[in-house]
Amino acid sequence: MVGTRTVTRDDTLGVAMAPAGGQAVVLRPS
């Protein structure tokens, strides 16, 4: 997945939400 780029948490969530959807919750540090 896209993880090599240094982006903000919001950006990562948005990118993960599109292809992964539910997986976005896992990426969230909570």
Smallest CA-to-CA distance from 26 within 15, 14, 13, 10 is with: 13
Low-confidence stretches of the chain (pLDDT beneath 50): none
* DSSP string covering 1-30: ---SS---HHHHHHHHHTTTSTTHHHH---
Q: What is the pLDDT of residue 25?
A: 54
pTM here is 0.20
